[in-house]
């Protein structure tokens, strides 16, 4: 993973993930209003990538759009489960690595947390495939878990004393509860 330390390569790879996830969202989502919102946020993310800003926002947005794309490919195109699992591990592993590099987290335990975060996202992703809720809501839950990991990275791994993990946990729980309560639970 030493190639990710080169700034141009890191920017190029995260831009490719942005284009892939945004265009996949556009092709899989029939709702026009949400397409416009994702397009506007995608342009803002492209600006943030090349200016090296807002790593947490990039993590959450790319988690949402990537999860939506992977849910869509899994449901609509009937991709094999092993392929979707591999894609989740690679994409979210890269997103968390990007976030850790932008936060300046160094050390031997970084790889352990990277694999742990990717595995937890994979478990959340697989658990959500059993529920018959909208893929947007499923993707929002994955993005909420990514938000929680971003807070963990800031408060615990980066050792920032001004940021408390408890506030991230409460916000993530409230967002997840709001998403689940406002979801349309239906049978296929």
Domain annotation covers residue 10: yes
* Strand, helix or coil for residue 130: coil
| CB distance 38 to 22 below 8 Å | yes
pLDDT of residue 174: 94
Whole-angstrom distance, CA of residue 110 vs CA of residue 90:
16
The total domain count for the chain is 1
Q: Is residue 186 part of a domain?
A: no
> Which pLDDT score, from 0 to 100, does residue 3 have?
54
In a domain, 187, yes or no: no
Is 57 part of any domain? yes
> Mean pLDDT for the chain?
87
Structure tokens that stand for 91 in this block: 């994409």
Could you report the per-residue pLDDT of 133-151, keeping only the tens digit for each?
888 999 999 999 999 988 8
**Residue of 102 and 28 predicted with greater confidence:** 28
CA dihedral 54, 98, 61, 69 (to 10 degrees): 160
Q: Residue 47 burial (CB < 10 Å; 0-12/13-18/19+)?
A: exposed
Q: Which whole number is the average pLDDT over 85-98?
A: 92
| Secondary structure (DSSP) of 21-60 | HHHHHHHH---HHHHHHHHHHHHHHHHHHHHT--HHHHHH
Boundaries of domain holding 118: 2-181
- Give a yes or no: residue 188 inside a domain: no
Flag whether 8 is in a domain.
yes
């Amino acid at each position: 993973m030493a190639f990710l330390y080169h700034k141009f390569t890191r920017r190029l790879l995260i831009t490719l993930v942005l284009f892939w996830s945004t265009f996949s969202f556009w092709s899989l989502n029939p709702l026009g209003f949400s397409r416009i919102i994702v397009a506007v946020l995608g342009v803002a993310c492209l600006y943030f990538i090349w200016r090296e800003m807002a790593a947490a926002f990039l993590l959450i947005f790319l988690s949402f759009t990537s999860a939506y794309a992977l849910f869509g490919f899994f449901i609509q195109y009937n991709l094999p489960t092993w392929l979707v699992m591999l894609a989740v591990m690679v994409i979210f592993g890269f997103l968390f690595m990007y976030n850790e590099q932008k936060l300046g987290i160094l050390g031997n335990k970084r790889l352990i947390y990277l694999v742990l975060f990717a595995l937890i996202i994979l478990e959340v992703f697989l658990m959500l495939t059993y529920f018959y809720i909208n893929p947007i809501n499923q993707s929002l839950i994955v993005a909420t878990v990514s938000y929680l990991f971003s807070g963990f990275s800031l408060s615990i791994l980066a050792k920032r004393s001004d940021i408390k993990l408890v506030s991230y946990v409460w916000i993530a729980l409230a967002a997840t509860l709001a998403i689940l309560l406002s979801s349309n639970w239906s049978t296929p």
